[in-house]
Structure formats: structure tokens, C-alpha cells
Structure 1
């Protein structure tokens, strides 16, 4: 791959995919899928056509993965939501690499609307959602379109597991 930034992004997408597959028990000790045909496998889709469908699919989420020096989280979240819609998935989130940190410490950002829909799907109170999945809030100025909730990849993976199982 001749573009170093593209290589960085692809590496981060693959690291997130591989971590989630291991943590969700979807691969064996060698990283081979237990069921190659399972719709629950976390995958990096091939990009086809003009409508981007996200970097990683972790049903029911589209992950827009970013490995950048200066994250523009509100922009990434708008992109994730468009791509989730393009792919026919209910939720889009942005996953941003933390420099020199393990993949499980990457930051997963939710819009307020997506966080609320996920919380309702899990039938949790706001307090329970914050505590159970170690969320923090970023309130940037008076423009609520720039507000978002954040957790890490490890907690997000637990959340994905719980929403797939319909757990509270």
C-alpha cells in the first residue's frame, strides 16, 4: 500500500475488527472464525459503489474507524450515521485510536440520539447506561450537534454483546 495514511487507517480498522472478534468469542485461539457464515462476525466490508457503508460492521453497529492526530469527532459521527443508513444498520459510531494505547482503549463515540436509542433498546436508565459501560460526556459549547458520549472499545464490545443478546 503506497499511501501511509491509508495503511494506518486500514491497520486500525483491522485491529478493532480482530479485537472485537476475539472478545466476542467469534474466533478460535488462532483467529479463525468459529462459524464463517455467521452474520454476527465483525467484518471489514468491501467498499462498493458511491455510497460508503462504513469501515467495520459489528451488527447492529457500523463503525467509522479513525487513526488521526486531531480527531474531529462530530464530523466523524455525522459520517458514521450516514454510512449506517447506507448499509441498512440502525446505529453508527466513531472509533478513534488513542496513540500508543492498546486497541481496547480506543475511544468509541456516540451521538446523543444514537446513545439514547441504544439505551432504550437495552431498557436501561441513563444512569445505568453510564455506569455499566463507563461512558463519559463531551458537551462542547451550546451547539448540541457537537455533544457526544464516549466509552472505550472494551466496554463497547461488552455493550455489543449485550444488545445482541437483548440483555439488560
Structure 2
């Protein structure tokens, strides 16, 4: 018997992957990779071994995708950052589905540290970076480890394009 929560999670991971590949122009009108060997294709890696490597790889990001009723963003971000290290990627972010909303409205969350590292890689001021990609802060109490920055998947897709172009 298939676990319904696993089915929902896998569907969300596939939706995120398919959306990012489509907006990056990496697939044709049938959803097939234009170049299957292009390292910038967004993929769902097979899980191997004890060290989880994340749900979706979008170089240079590992995406930890979550389709849950009650998001726990700080713990999702800790998980994403561990998985990025396991996969050998510089950045780990969490992508949380918004119930009954289009894939583009999914929320992409960054730790403040990761947000700053990506911002510096793109070469923008904090204000310009937040404005360009529609980031909003979540400042939870005085413990800075619980703070994070969020955008939607549409803003993340634009950021992904720019980060890849900055390399």
C-alpha cells in the first residue's frame, strides 16, 4: 500500500522540478530535456546510502521540498543545509507548497546566512536583492538562527537564472 503523504511529497518535488526546467528553457514542449547531459538540468536525484542529498538539485542549490499542513521552516532549513553539504552543493533552501495555490506560489526559504552568501555572489546590496527577487524577512524572536528570508518559486526561478549567469 502506498503512503498518501509520500505520494503528495513526490508530486510536489516533481512539480518544482518541472516548473524550474520549463522556465529555464531546459525542456521542450513535451517536457523532455533538450540536452540530457546539460549539468544545469534540474533533477530529482536517486537517494543512495545513509546521507540524504536533498529532493531536487538545481545547481548550485539543493532544494528540500515540503508539502505539509504545518510548516516548520527553521527545521526544514537545517535539513536543507545538511543535505547541501552531503550533495557537495554550496546552498540549501526549503521549498514549501502553499495549499490550493499554483506551483509558482510555493514559498522558497533561505537562512539569513545562505541569503547573504547568494546575495554577495550576485553582487547586489541587501535592499536591491530583496526588491529584485521579492524577498520578505521572517524575524522570529531574538534567536537569529530562527530568522529566514522567503520568496516565491517564481522569484527563485529568476534568482536561479541570475546566479547561474554570474558564474
Q: CA deviation at 1:47?
A: 0.1
Unaligned 5+ segments in structure 2 are: none
Unaligned 5+ segments in structure 1 are: none
Structure 1 position 122 matched with structure 2 position 114: no
Aligned residues: 167
- The runs of at least 4 consecutive aligned structure 1 residues that moved more than 4 Å come to none
Partner of 1:148: 148
SS of 1:19's partner is helix
Q: CA deviation at 1:117?
A: 0.2
Matches within 5 A, 1:1-16: 2-16=2-16
Name the TM-score, length of structure 1 as normaliser: 0.98
SS of 2:155's partner is helix
Structure 1 position 32 matched with structure 2 position 32: yes
Q: CA deviation at 1:21?
A: 0.3
Name the TM-score, length of structure 2 as normaliser: 0.99
Query: In structure 1, what is the Cα distance between the partners aligned to 2:122 and 2:87?
Result: 22
SS of 2:79's partner is helix
Matches within 5 A, 1:134-145: 134-145=134-145
SS of 2:50's partner is coil
Q: CA deviation at 1:9?
A: 0.3
